[in-house]
Chain A
Amino acid sequence: NAGVTQTPKFRVLKTGQSMTLLCAQDMNHEYMYWYRQDPGMGLRLIHYSVGEGTTAKGEVPDGYNVSRLKKQNFLLGLESAAPSQTSVYFCASSRESSGGNTGELFFGEGSRLTVL
């Protein structure tokens, strides 16, 4: 099992360019998430999905779009990249919850994005 796989692992963009980060999980998880990690700020939730065809906003959704066309894939798009979006991006997935708790998150290895 590969678990959660993110591509690409590294990318450098110029301001205004667009790109898509791909997240794939092979654990048949219902829930998927995109986080960004910046020094001293922990992990901040960008968008998440509770099932195929559904998405919802997290803590810092502005400047990003997502799609979950297939259960195993969760795509994060930047339509017009800005230097403030320079960060490490982590995708995660988890099982369907019971009792209101989501259960453990399984993370990908991260994608380091630099916007010049």
Chain B
Amino acid sequence: GQQVMQIPQYQHVQEGEDFTTYCNSSTTLSNIQWYKQRPGGHPVFLIQLVKSGEVKKQKRLTFQFGEAKKNSSLHITATQTTDVGTYFCARNTGGFKTIFGAGTRLFVKA
């Protein structure tokens, strides 16, 4: 129903490698938000995508929203140790609820 599925659950990379996490929904999304949570910290908003096929970049991070507005991805180029943490996608639903995916935990080995 309102769930968003994230894959993979976790990923280990060597510093300098790329990383991608995917967010999928069975229903059309009005928007998708991405958050990062550092170990021991709280989630911090990264970006919101609203338009079909939208692509936004923040330095080494690239966010995409699918043409059908049912999936999204976050790609990190040349990971650094500062990228470690858990990345969550989230959707707004009717009634102003924001529902989160289970997250992808990123480990970066120096």
Number of A-B residue pairs at CB separation under 8 A: 66
Residue among B31, B41, B42, B92 facing the most chain A CB atoms (10 A cut-off): B42
State whether A102 touches B96 (Cβ < 8 A). yes
Closest to B9 in A: A40
Q: A101-B48, A101-B50 are in contact. Are A50 and B96 (CB under 8 A)?
A: yes
Q: Which residues of chain B come closer than 8 Å to A43, judged between CB atoms?
A: 43, 88, 90, 100
Q: B59 interface residue, CB < 8 Å from A? A: no
State whether A100 touches B43 (Cβ < 8 A). no
Residue among B9, B50, B98, B101 facing the most chain A CB atoms (10 A cut-off): B98
State whether B95 touches A56 (Cβ < 8 A). yes
A17 to B42 CA separation, bound complex (whole angstroms): 27
A103 to B31 CA separation, bound complex (whole angstroms): 10
Q: Which residues of chain A come closer than 8 Å to B88, judged between CB atoms?
A: 42-43
State whether B98 touches A105 (Cβ < 8 A). yes
State whether A105 touches B43 (Cβ < 8 A). yes
Q: B85 interface residue, CB < 8 Å from A? A: no
Count of B residues near A, CB < 8 Å? 26
Q: Which residues of chain A come closer than 8 Å to B97, judged between CB atoms?
A: 45, 48, 56, 58
State whether A33 touches B44 (Cβ < 8 A). no
Shortest distance between the CB of B23 and any CB in chain A (Å): 11
Chain A 84-114, CB within 8 Å of chain B: the 1/0 string? Answer: 0000001010100101111111111110000
Q: Which residues of chain A come closer than 8 Å to B90, judged between CB atoms?
A: 43, 105
State whether A100 touches B92 (Cβ < 8 A). yes
Q: A59 interface residue, CB < 8 Å from B? A: yes
Shortest distance between the CB of A18 and any CB in chain B (Å): 25
State whether B42 touches A31 (Cβ < 8 A). no
Shortest distance between the CB of A61 and any CB in chain B (Å): 12
Q: A2 interface residue, CB < 8 Å from B? A: no
A33 CB contact (under 8 Å) in B35, B42, B98, B101: B98
Q: A43-B88, A100-B92 are in contact. Are A59 and B45 (CB under 8 A)?
A: no
Which 6 pairs from chain A and chain B are nearest by CB? A104-B45, A42-B102, A43-B100, A107-B42, A101-B31, A42-B100
